[in-house]
Amino acid sequence: MAIHEQLLAAIDGRRGTEAADRLCEACVVLFDVDAAAISLVFDGANSGTLGSSGEPARTYDELQFLVGEGPCLDSVTLRAPVLVIDLADRDEGRWPVYGPAMLDLQIRGVFAMPVVVAGEYVGALDLFRIEPGQLDGEQFSGAVVAAELAGAPLLDLLDGDLHAAASDPLSNAWSDLNSLSRAEVSQATGMLVAQLDIEPAEALVRLRAHAYATGRTSTDVARDILDRRLRLDAD
Amino acid sequence: MTEPPRETRVLDAVVSLVDTLLEDFDVVDLLTELTERCAQLLDVAAAGFLLADPLNQLRLLAATTEQARELELFQLQADEGPCVECYASGQPVSIADLRTAGDRWPRFVPAALDAGFTAVHAVPMRAAGIVLGALGLFGARPGELSDADRLVAQTLAHIACVAILQERAPTPATVMPQLRSALASRVIVEQAKGLLRESLDVSVEDAFLLLRAYSRANGEHMTDVARRLMTDRNARPVVVSAIAEFATPST
């Protein structure tokens, strides 16, 4: 089974934070790490841990928001993965506070893959290892796939009307994820940003919510917005 | 009027593209230019780069056209058609006459014929032993790609790979994040097209041309301008007015 199928099987149709937790649990099993967490760096006020493989993972992850430095924050800023093979390495000084604090918690290896929603780097999948060591090629590419999938629970979290979406049997966040990256959906997202004076991620959430509510595909809704047959109301 | 021989034009294109690679460049802009060169050098009507995201879905990164109907055709290839076959097999695919391929791709073929294309070809894009995607070529007249054509297409596809992966020597670990980053840039560019369509009341095609021309005139990367438009709320009105002003100078 391809890695994305294994991850999808682990998520088993769950949504929101529950999906994020399951994705993290699957990462621990599949990529030989000891803990995993998904965190969101949106606008300063909205940062935090969305899902985790368990309490320790949540602790490792939340610590970076407390001290203001760490793998998730760096991977969003750099728009690239952050890979620390051994925090105990003398030359490894990138986090003067977070690094020693993690060593106290017995964590040596830290890896973060950025999560992208609506073209924006909004968070990261953080992986933690007790033993130092590199992610091998397959673990690395698997983690990239997991980070790609993590976009769906992040979108859920941004959607205030998640329950309506989750109870709609027609809605499938996971098959949706592909159509949400199509050109017309991005273009319509841009139009909504101008029309409603909102940010792109919120615009994408609004577009998707309208598709759920009307039982149509995101692509169809996007086309109607582009052709000015449909206008979404401001809140 | 005599045109220089094709070899000269190919070399010209390669030299100018590689020159760009040695400078600071914008990946979506450069790949769009590559598709334009493909169309000229190979005498095809349209060309586009489809790259795979981490979930193995092909996504359009750049194309000669911003026409909705043709973009749609490229996107349809995420599901079926020469590009997705080329991506799956890692081998070039060439259909000299689409009318014979209706059974092979029941959705793609009628759509392509409708759009006025009769021949399609795809060459793979590879790095670090991975197939990254495909360069798709659409001809308005039936016909094979000659060996020379295929070589030209493959060369331009290689340049596109280098452009996407330029920062580091490619390994499987570096290839995927860079691909994701290029695809995220394209998403932002598409959003900016929509934003400009709404704000300036232009078509999405014109919005793209405007964004590209404005960025070039200001010595900026198209994706940087697009990113500022989409993610910097305070800069947004200023950039929109600057682009409006650029489109229709007041004096």
Per-residue pLDDT reduced to its tens digit, B79-89: 788 999 999 99
Query: Minimal Cα–Cα distance from A69 to chain B, Å?
Result: 22
Give the residue carrying structure tokens 């990261």. A124
Chain B residues in contact with A149 by the CB 8 A cut-off are 55
Q: Are A176 and A207 in contact (CB under 8 A)?
A: no
pLDDT, average across residues B59-79: 75
How much is the pLDDT for B12? Answer: 87
| Residue ranges covered by each domain of chain B | 6-166, 186-247
CB contact under 8 A, B53 and A121: no
Contacts within 8 Å (CB) and 24+ apart, A95-99: A95/A69, A95/A70, A96/A69, A97/A67, A97/A68, A97/A69, A98/A63, A98/A64, A98/A67, A98/A69, A98/A70
Query: Minimal Cα–Cα distance from A160 to chain B, Å?
Result: 21
Q: Is the pLDDT of residue B2 over 60?
A: yes
Q: Alpha-carbon distance B39 to A69, whole Å?
A: 48
pLDDT, average across residues B16-44: 87
Out of B75, B186, B191, name the one closest to residue A193 (CB): B191
How much is the pLDDT for A175? Answer: 55
Query: Tens of pLDDT along A216-229?
Result: 888 899 999 999 99
Number of A/B CB contacts below 8 angstroms equals 120
Give the pTM: 0.75
ipTM over 0.90: no
Out of B78, B192, B233, name the one closest to residue A190 (CB): B192
Which residues of B, range 156-185, sit inside 8 Å of A by Cβ? 171-173, 176-177, 180-181, 183-185
Considering the four listed CATH numbers 3.90.1530.10, 3.40.50.2300, 3.30.450.40, 3.40.630.10, the one that applies to the domain covering B6-166 is: 3.30.450.40
> Tokens for A57?
């993972």
Q: Is the pLDDT of residue B169 over 70?
A: no
B199 at A interface, C-beta within 8 A:
yes
pLDDT, average across residues A87-110: 94
Q: Is the pLDDT of residue A167 over 60?
A: no
Q: Please name which of B43, B117, B33, B27 lies closest in space to residue B81, comparing C-alpha atoms.
A: B117
Helix (H/G/I), strand (E/B), else coil: A228: coil
B193 at A interface, C-beta within 8 A:
yes
Among B72, B198, B206, most A C-beta atoms within 10 A, so best to mutate, is B198
Q: Is the pLDDT of residue B174 over 60?
A: yes
Give the domain A3-157 fold. Answer: Beta-Lactamase (3.30.450)
Q: Is the pLDDT of residue A7 over 70?
A: yes
How much is the pLDDT for A21? Answer: 94
Q: How many Cα atoms are found within 13 Å in the side-chain-facing hemisphere of A77?
A: 9
How much is the pLDDT for A164? Answer: 47
* Residue A120, CA distances (Å) to A56, B148, B167, B181 in order: 28, 41, 21, 10
B190 at A interface, C-beta within 8 A:
yes
Q: Is the pLDDT of residue B209 over 50?
A: yes
> Tokens for A44?
């300063």
Q: Are B42 and B149 in contact (CB under 8 A)?
A: yes
Q: Is the pLDDT of residue A165 over 50?
A: no
How much is the pLDDT for A43? Answer: 57
Among A177, A186, A196, most B C-beta atoms within 10 A, so best to mutate, is A186
CB contact under 8 A, A191 and B197: yes
Higher pLDDT, B68 or A208: A208
Out of B177, B191, B230, name the one closest to residue A144 (CB): B177
Q: Is the pLDDT of residue A147 over 70?
A: yes
Q: Alpha-carbon distance A187 to B204, whole Å?
A: 8
Higher pLDDT, A91 or A126: A126
Scanning every residue of chain A, which has its alpha carbon at the shortest distance from the alpha carbon of B68?
A: A184
* Range picked from A47-56, A102-111, A174-183, B8-17 for highest mean pLDDT: A102-111
Q: Alpha-carbon distance A148 to A145, whole Å?
A: 5
| Residue ranges covered by each domain of chain A | 3-157, 161-226
